[in-house]
Structure 1
Amino acid sequence: MTSPRTHAGTRALLATGAGLALTAALTLTGGGTAGADARAAGPTTVTPAGHHFTAKLTGKATFKAGPVTVTCTVSGSEPSADDANNKIPEAPGNHNDAGPVGSALTAPTYSSCTSSQAGVKAAITTSGAWTVSLQHGTPITATLGLPVGGFVVQTSGLASCTVTAAPTAAADIVATFTNGSPSTLTVANAAVPIKVVGGFGCPTNATSSVFNATYEVTDATDPSSAITVTG
């Protein structure tokens, strides 16, 4: 973890799939819309105000589309050098009387990915303006905003496929945030729209992918502190 400047970010807080999300070949977890929680949303406070945070995958992230599952063992999201992402809003912006606290999020990266298909390699690229919002409740809800085409799985070898998540419209990846030391963001069987292009061995009929992953969310500004969501 670097200094607050190196770990710069915007005014928000993580929710992971981050992220951040996401398993590699055709399995992306996404799902519902943030509006579902907004209907009866109560107050939310994210602390420490103004601090930057990082999200690091613990265990494995898996993405499944049709019969194909991609598994990644390395993933994370870090503050940006321009101080635009992965930052809890300064007070009073870190509190919302009737809804979530949100911010920009550095697109998560994925590496060390494998495919469930023999002879097939997988790689994931991410791009665009991702976001994250946290809503206090039971449980605490974290919503990752995935931009159009912001998550792409490319396979090679015996099957050359391109899997694009949120191919025509932005999508939400709904997760659960748990306070702790470190706090965690868990994506469980989230679904997101996908488009699959390719030839033999590619699940071109698949229109959604399922994603599972758990991220540890830590304070990059003060490692002795914890990112916490309260009412």
Structure 2
Amino acid sequence: MTPRRLRPRAVLACGAGLAVAASLSLAGAAGAQPGPAAATIAAGSTTVTPAGHSFAATLSGKATFKAGSVTATCTVSSSKPSDDQPALNRIPDAPGNQNPAGPVVSGLNAPTYSGCTASIPGVTTTVATSGEWKVSMQYGSPITATLTIPVGGFVLKSTGLANCTITAAPAAAADIAAAYTNGSPAKLTVANANVPVKVEGGFGCPTSATTSVFNAVYDVTDTTDPGSQITVGE
């Protein structure tokens, strides 16, 4: 008799491990550790230009934050350079705008949010941000970006029929996975990214929720020279 060929379980286990690792990375899960089956891939080189230029990120459309059954929507948001923090919202000077084996990181002024509403009728929503945020750009296909929220750097409060406080990154800084598209303007896109949160409040507040799903698209523009574009290359 011809022996029956068996599918190697080791190959299946490795594939499953890589799939799980990839899904966690795309979700932006904070603190996730790669499993033993996950492959280690060296990051490629990254160059962000123009070196030393300042930039702004301005919301295009709307930003949404969903925790449990509650969704908050904001129509105005931006992170801009400031005179009191000239090192933030700025591409590093050369050669710091180049990394031969990884991303280029810039500090950010905490983005502001306004024009916010909640999915619960009779509720008023406000967002307060604080601390130094960060953005890291990694060249590739696609170009990826990571937004880092400092501990407690985003607090959403609702008042009215439901008095809730939702704090993002409640215990540790949180990374948000994003995509970057070169252009005029360039685009920073956050799509269904999971952000760790702590929800406090009474009736109507999603206190059992431990993550919020964040969606937003930002236009990234050069404020040093409006005729230039912030470009991520190899």
Residue number among 42, 48, 51 corresponding to 1:49 in the alignment: 51
Contact 2:30 2:196 in 1 (8 A): no
Higher Cα radius of gyration: 2
2:207 is matched with which residue?
Answer: 204
Instruction: Give 2:54's aligned amino acid.
Output: H
Instruction: Give 2:105's aligned amino acid.
Output: G
| Structure with greater helix share of residues | 2
Unmatched 5+ residue regions in structure 2? Answer: 1-25, 35-39
Contact 1:160 1:199 in 2 (8 A): yes
Find out whether 1:122 has 2:125 as its counterpart. Answer: yes
Contact 1:54 1:79 in 2 (8 A): yes
2:67 is matched with which residue?
Answer: 65
TM-score, reference length from structure 2 = 0.83
Contact 1:30 1:171 in 2 (8 A): no
Instruction: Give 1:129's aligned amino acid.
Output: E
Q: How many residues align?
A: 203
**Does the C-alpha gap of structure 1 residues 33 and 91 become closer, same or farther in structure 2, counting only changes over 3 Å?**
farther
- Following TM superposition, where does structure 1 have runs of at least 4 consecutive aligned residues deviating by more than 2 angstroms? 32-36
- Name the SS of the counterpart of 1:124 in structure 2: strand
1:31 is matched with which residue?
Answer: 28
Unmatched 5+ residue regions in structure 1? Answer: 1-28
1:93 is matched with which residue?
Answer: 96
The offset of 1:31, in angstroms, is: 1.8
The offset of 1:30, in angstroms, is: 7.0
TM-score, reference length from structure 1 = 0.84
Identity of aligned residues (%): 66
1:178 is matched with which residue?
Answer: 181
**Does the C-alpha gap of structure 1 residues 204 and 33 become closer, same or farther in structure 2, counting only changes over 3 Å?**
closer
**Does the C-alpha gap of structure 1 residues 221 and 30 become closer, same or farther in structure 2, counting only changes over 3 Å?**
farther
Q: Distance in 2 between matches of 1:106 and 1:142?
A: 17
Find out whether 1:152 has 2:149 as its counterpart. Answer: no
Name the Cα RMSD after superposition. 1.9
